[in-house]
Chain A
Amino acid sequence: MRNISPARQLITQLLLLLVGLFILIPLWSTIRLAFDGSLRGRPTDFTFLPKGFSLEPFAAVLDRPYQSVEFNVLLRNSMIVSIGAAILATFLGISLAYGFARFRFPARNAGLFMLLLAALLPPIAFATPLYIILSLLNIRTTLIGLTIVYAAFAMPFCVWNMRAAFEAIPKEVEEAAHLDGANHLQTFLHISFPISLPSIAVTTMIAFLMGYTEFAIGWLFVDKADNVTLSMATYALVNGQFSGAQPWSYLGSLAIVMSIPVIIIFILFQQTLMERLLFQETS
């Protein structure tokens, strides 16, 4: 087949540009706020560029964005909670996923159905029971408690996703290993695990993101300022800014600060790993 004609190339590029603009609009509207040092409260004028360019909002946000809590503390909390939850969910989910993918046993279908059911639940459904259980254990308002909550959110997704990854490995590969005398654990550790490592990594990353960006359930559980995460602080900022207490620019700069690590992770993970997600059958 030949390449497309110049006219079609032009139309294609124009359409792509249009979508590009669509993507850019909210980004730009945030950027122009984030660098606007002139704002003292809510924005009052329409501007396309920041009115008074300044890095002051960034400096303020990187210092103490929420009450008197330092940014570093917020970031540390976020990382503890979301990395902890991601590792917990992946680690605990991996055996279940492999069990469902590789073995046939009684009530397997019922089990799969329960897995799906759990994946359909909205996050808030986990709140009440965990609220009570964690309160009884006296860890409700701690970072450990929040880690467990976020792990619970991520778990159904992790199991579901990794099961698909394990199922995508051809049975013959594992059977060959069995013939060579390897047991199930060895087969898993030396064959299935390395093959599906990219998928597992992506699953972990998504689980991390769930915890990193969650704020609503966090606010139901945590009440000590020291245990607030970055995401929760951002939501508190939105809440506070409607009253005009803080410059609206902080919202923009905090949003950008929060997105940067995620974007970096995505750029690092791109291409090969991205396609692993959810589309196992194809790769």
Chain B
Amino acid sequence: MNIKTALRILSITAVLAIAWGLRVRAADKLPIDFDEDDYLRAGQEYAHLIRTLNWSGFLETNYRTEHPPLAKIAYGIVFSFLPEQPLVEDVAITASPAKTLPKDLLWAGRKEAAGFGTLTAFLLALVNPLAGFLLATHSFTIKYTSQIMLDGLSSLLSLGTVLAYVQYKRKHRAVWLIVSSVFLGLAADSKYLHGTVGFAILVDQIFENRENLIERKFKALLPILGWGLLSLLVFFGANPYLWPDPIGRLQESFTSVTYTVTNPNVQSANFPLWQPLVWISMSPILWHENVFLFAPDFLIGLFAIAGFARLWKRERVFALWLGLSLITLLLWKTKWPQYILILTAPLSFAAAEGISKAWESLLESIRNRRSKRQFYNNKESLQAVPWLVPGLIAFALLTLLPFLFQVAISITDFNSASIRDGFQGGIWRELFGGLSGQIEPSNPDFPFRSNKVQYTGFSGYLPVFYFVTGQGIFVFNILWMVASTSLQVILGGGLSILLNQRGVRMKKFWQAFFILPWAIPEFIGALMWLNIFIPEIGWLSLASKKYGDAFPLQFLIGWERTPTFWFFIFLVPAVWYGFPLILLAVNAGLKTIPKDIYEAASIDGANSWQTLRHMTLPLLMPVLLPAIIIRSIYAFNQFYLFQAFFFTESTLATLSYNLFNPSSGFGGGQFAVSAIINILTVMILTGLVSLFNRHMQSREEFIHA
């Protein structure tokens, strides 16, 4: 046995131990959650049937019919070894979590879930130890595989489905395909949503047989057809509750699902469309103190984005699994956090690929740095001095100093109450004392109200970060940047291309007219839109009052109450204000493209779409890219628009301002917290800009190659 194999076995064993240890710890410490009483009761019912050998009872038993029975039966099997206890109370689905549950059952059930969860991490580690490790430590996955939920068994089965399928693709043995389809049927029997993994395999097969399909050789699809049929058979076979009346019972189950959609819990949660992304970006460490040792969830999500392309190349079916599950979750109306467990396995896999990619490019950049030193000579450096000095002094005073100052106060609790002490040198006293180790970092409660500045160390960063991700502000900010910039690029670019066709009439007039929004200060533009959208007195509300249901935009009334709606409403003024800059950039770019290449293209028989896609767009990129980056940064820091509408917790910039502002409502004058948010902003933007730049550069090389 060589060292590599030994290391692999060692790391897989380590993953097994870590996964089990973390889950048992969580099972011990987590409070009773929503639904745990339901599944525990369901398990008790099945345990009773098993004990009394009442097999026909399975045909009529399925407590909480909106979910299929398999995972509940699994709990029942374990419970049947324990002494029987009276059934836990049957409460309404809207009730808050049970106060107490039978201790031994709760413990046994949670351990069973933890066992399934550990096995899942172990299975993934067999393929990729790093991915297994990430899944083992992902705190959301730990939480829902350490409570009596349905997700432990079903994620194990869905991972099994894909792994068996991958084996089939490698070895071409039918037995693996059969295993895969059996697992798929069982996974759907544990929780319907986990059946999405089947679609990933289906789509993967279509990719696999692309050529056959083009040549109309449909025979190649026979194996996967059999796979699908078998999994359907298993789905019905392993779900005894369906046997008496398959269609009716399935319908009943799904109407219960729609019932949960309209249930008051879902409505009061008022989650935006993109809530699954918020779950992925945050960690339940916010909700439960001292349960999870650490929360790598955010980093896993981040590296998963970086590694997605690589995962696609390596194990396409995992990438498809991740993508299709995400789409399903975004479309699915109920958005409970446990649903993301349908994708945490491929997410961890993508993250593992992302980490190895980042590691490799780090090594490469170190190697390149050695070979590529910047050249400069002393004479030139000396000549630069007189130019740099005056500007540097001003820059240092006006920009650098504020920035360093931000870092400095972010490790104190500086606030409006301690402003006098801060002025009299309190900040430097604490900073010096803290950094030299003379002052112990203190950990005051938020909002900070101490009238003496205190050194806190970096202890403020993590809570602020958890708050920003947990409240969804981070995800909103990123989505906002992407959506707003892309819409601006589409509108601005489209208009420029329209205007630059040959012989468009009134071109000059339109061009001047379209630049108008840019000439209006952003804040004034926001006020103009405020006149329209503001509830009750805006044009929109007044029109709806006057015309009632005949008003076609009636559905927009009340937009301020649902996050999904206000996301789209704010996009309107943002695009209105932002597209002219892109229009100008594209106009300038189009002028640089020589006209004769178009003639060459039309002689070669390219249609206008092909010309646009393969010639105009790539040639535009160098000019368009700076404009896109500028607009993206601007959108990320968007402030005046939201402030004009008094939406004070929408972006990081508005949050930071309103935490700072001593006269704002919530705990104003929190200078230190505001500074932490600003530093987080700079960190995020630096990462985004360098990533974007890099990605675009590599694509350009690809185009030129």
In chain A, positions 114-151 with a C-beta closer than 8 Å to chain B are: 114-130, 132-133, 135-136, 148, 151
Q: Which of A12-20, A66-74, A168-176 has 4 or more CB atoms under 8 Å from chain B? A: A12-20
Q: Please determine whether B384 and A103 come into contact, CB atoms closer than 8 angstroms.
A: yes
A126, A151, A263 — which one has the most chain B CB atoms within 10 A of its CB? A126
How far, in angstroms, from A50 to B236 measured CA to CA in the complex? 67
Seen from chain B, the residues whose Cβ lies within 8 Å of a Cβ on chain A are 374-377, 380-381, 383-384, 387-392, 394-395, 398-403, 405-406, 409, 414, 422-423, 491, 495, 498-499, 501-506, 510, 512-525, 527-532, 536-537, 539, 542-543, 545-547, 573, 576, 581, 584-585, 587-589, 591-592, 595, 598-599, 602, 622-623, 626-627, 630, 633, 637, 639-640, 643-644, 652-653, 656-657, 660-661, 671, 674-675, 678, 681-682, 685-686, 689
Distance between A274 CB and nearest chain B CB, rounded to angstroms = 6
The answer to the question of A186 belonging to the interface, with a C-beta cut-off of 8 Å to chain B, is: no
Binds B, one of A41-49, A53-61, A193-201: A41-49
Interface pair B495/A19, CB less than 8 Å apart: yes
Question: A224 to chain B: which residues have CB within 8 Å?
Answer: none
| Closest Cβ neighbor of A4 among chain B residues | B501
Contact, CB under 8 Å: A124 / B639: yes
Q: How far, in whole Å, are A82 and B364 apart by their CA atoms in the complex?
A: 47
What CA separation (Å) do A143 and B54 show in the bound complex? 87
- The reply to whether the CB of A251 lies closer than 8 angstroms to some CB of chain B is yes
In this complex, what residue of A is CB-closest to B537?
A: A42
Q: How far is the CB of A177 from chain B (nearest CB, A)?
A: 14
In the complex, residue of chain A having the shortest beta-carbon distance to the beta carbon of B587: A275
Which residues of chain A (1-38) have a CB below 8 Å from chain B? 1-4, 8-9, 12-13, 15-16, 19-20, 22-23, 25-27, 29-30, 33
> Are B592 and A255 in touch, CB under 8 angstroms?
no
Separation in Å of the B642 CB from the closest CB of chain A?
11
Q: Which residues of B contact A116 (CB under 8 A)?
A: 686, 689
Contact with A92, one of B391, B401, B405, B531 (Cβ below 8 angstroms): B391
In contact, B682 and A278 (Cβ under 8 angstroms): no
How far is B570's CA from A170's CA once the two chains are assembled, in angstroms? Answer: 43
| Distance between A5 CB and nearest chain B CB, rounded to angstroms | 10
Asked if B537 and A275 sit within 8 Å, CB to CB, the answer is: no
Whether A122 lies near B656 (C-beta < 8 A) is: yes
B527 in contact with A238 (CB, 8 Å): yes
Contacts of A251 in B (CB 8 A): 527, 531
CA distance in complex: A213, B523 (Å): 7
**What is the minimal beta-carbon distance from B671 to any residue of chain A, in angstroms?**
5
Q: Does any Cβ of B come within 8 Å of A207's Cβ?
A: no
- Known A96-B395, A259-B519: A4·B502 in contact at CB below 8 Å: yes
A-B contact pairs, 24 of them (CB 8 A): A1-B599, A2-B502, A12-B498, A12-B501, A30-B531, A45-B542, A99-B388, A105-B388, A118-B403, A120-B685, A122-B656, A122-B678, A125-B678, A128-B406, A128-B671, A128-B675, A129-B401, A129-B402, A213-B524, A248-B537, A259-B519, A262-B520, A279-B584, A282-B623
Report whether over half of chain B's contact residues are helix, strand or loop; otherwise say mixed.
helix
Specify which of A119, A120, A126, A266 is in contact with B519 (CB 8 Å cutoff).
A266
Write the nearest CB–CB distance from A273 to chain B, whole angstroms: 11
- Determine which residue in B514, B519, B532 has the highest number of CB atoms from chain A within 10 A of its CB, and name it: B519
CA distance A73 to B423 in the complex (A): 32
Is A64 interfacial (CB 8 A cutoff)? no
Q: A100 vs B515: C-alpha distance in the bound complex, in angstroms?
A: 32
Name the distance in Å between A107's Cβ and chain B's nearest Cβ.
10
- Contact B502–A29 (Cβ < 8 Å): no
Residues of B within 8 A of A65 (CB): none
- Chain A contact residues, majority secondary structure: helix
Separation in Å of the B131 CB from the closest CB of chain A?
A: 33
Closest to A19 in B: B495
Q: Known contacts being A4-B502, A132-B423, A216-B657, is A125 close to B403, with CB within 8 Å?
A: yes
The reply to whether B380 and A103 contact each other, CB–CB distance below 8 Å, is yes
Q: In the complex the two chains form, what is the Cα distance from A115 to B682 in whole Å?
A: 12
Q: Name the 4 nearest CB pairs between A and B, nearest first.
A: A96-B391, A3-B503, A103-B384, A99-B387
Q: Least Cβ distance of A280 to chain B in Å?
A: 9
The chain B residue with its CB closest to the CB of A121 is: B682
A247 CB-CB contact with B under 8 Å: no
Q: How far is the CA of A238 from the CA of B402 in the complex (A)?
A: 30
Is the C-beta of A228 less than 8 angstroms from some C-beta in chain B?
A: no
Q: Which residues of A contact B573 (CB under 8 A)?
A: 26
Considering only CB atoms, which chain A residue lies closest to B519 in the complex? A266
Q: Complex: how many Å from CA A251 to CA B532?
A: 13
Which residue, of A30, A118, A266, has the highest number of chain B Cβ atoms within 10 A? A30
**A26, A94, A117: residue with the most chain B Cβ atoms closer than 10 Å:** A26
Q: Given A124-B674, A125-B403, A282-B592, is A263 in contact with B682 using a C-beta cutoff of 8 Å?
A: no
Given contacts A105-B376, A266-B519, contact A123 B639 (CB under 8 A): yes
Residues of B within 8 A of A95 (CB): 387-391
Q: A118-B399, A125-B406, A252-B531 are in contact. Are A220 and B521 (CB under 8 A)?
A: no
A30 with B528, Cβ < 8 A, contacts A3-B503, A20-B510, A96-B395 known: yes
Q: Which residue of chain B has the shortest Cβ distance to A275 in the bound complex?
A: B588
CA distance A262 to B686 in the complex (A): 32
Interface: A97 (CB within 8 A): yes
Verify A279–B512 contact, CB threshold 8 A: no
Set of chain A residues within 8 Å of B674, measured between Cβ atoms? 124, 128
In the bound assembly, the distance between CA atoms of A23 and B495 in angstroms comes to 13
Which chain A residue has the least Cβ–Cβ distance from B491?
A19
Residues in chain A near residue B513, CB distance under 8 A = 20, 23
Least CB distance, B647 to chain A, in whole angstroms: 13
Rounded to whole angstroms, the CA-CA distance of A29 and B527 in the bound complex is 11
Nearest CB in chain B to that of A31: its residue:
B528
Asked if A93 lies at the interface with its beta carbon under 8 angstroms from chain B, I say yes
Contacts of B633 in A (CB 8 A): 119-120
CA distance A20 to B376 in the complex (A): 53
CB neighbours (8 Å) of A213 from chain B are: 521-524, 640
Taking CB atoms, residues of chain A closer than 8 Å to B491 are: 19
Q: Which residues of B contact A106 (CB under 8 A)?
A: 376, 381
Residues on the B chain within 8 Å of A119, using CB:
633
Question: Which single residue of chain A is at the shortest CB-CB distance from B534?
Answer: A242
Residues of B within 8 A of A12 (CB): 498, 501, 504
Partner of A104, one of B380, B423, B653, B685: B380
A277 and B585 CA atoms in complex are apart in Å by 9
Chain A residues whose CB sits within 8 angstroms of the CB of B656 once the complex forms:
122, 124-125
Name the residue of chain B whose CB is nearest to the CB of A239: B646
Please determine whether B521 and A216 come into contact, CB atoms closer than 8 angstroms: no
Chain A 260-283 residues near chain B, CB threshold 8 A: 262-263, 265-267, 270, 274-275, 277-279, 281-283
B520 nearest CB neighbor, chain A only = A259
**Are B399 and A209 within 8 A (Cβ)?**
no
B581 to chain A, nearest CB (A): 8
The docked-state distance in angstroms from the alpha carbon of A115 to that of B537 is 44
> Bound complex: CA of A274 vs CA of B685, how far in Å?
27
Instruction: Find chain A residues with CB under 8 A from B539 CB.
Output: 29, 46
Across the interface, do A23 and B376 meet the contact criterion of CB distance under 8 Å? Answer: no
With both chains docked as a complex, state the minimum distance between the C-beta of B141 and any C-beta of chain A, in angstroms: 34
Instruction: State whether B391 touches A148 (Cβ < 8 A).
Output: no
Give the docked Cα–Cα distance between A132 and B425 (Å): 11
CB distance from B476 to the nearest CB of A (A): 15
**Known contacts A120-B686, A125-B402, A270-B512: does B528 contact A135 (CB below 8 Å)?**
no
Chain A residues with Cβ under 8 A from B402's Cβ? 121, 125-126, 128-130, 152
In the bound complex, CA of A281 to CA of B371 (Å): 29
- Residues in chain B near residue A212, CB distance under 8 A: 521
Contact B395 A103 (CB under 8 A): no
Is A184 among interface residues, defined by CB-CB distance under 8 A?
yes
Specify which chain B residues have a CB less than 8 angstroms from the CB of A1 in the assembled complex: 502, 595, 598-599, 602
Give the complex CA separation of A127 and B598 in angstroms: 52
Q: A22-B576, A43-B537, A104-B381 are in contact. Are A283 and B588 (CB under 8 A)?
A: yes
Could you tell me if B657 and A278 are in contact, using CB atoms closer than 8 angstroms? no
Nearest chain A CB to B473 CB, angstrom units: 14
| Chain B hits for A209, CB < 8 A | 521
A residues less than 8 Å from B523 (CB atoms): 213, 215, 231, 234-235
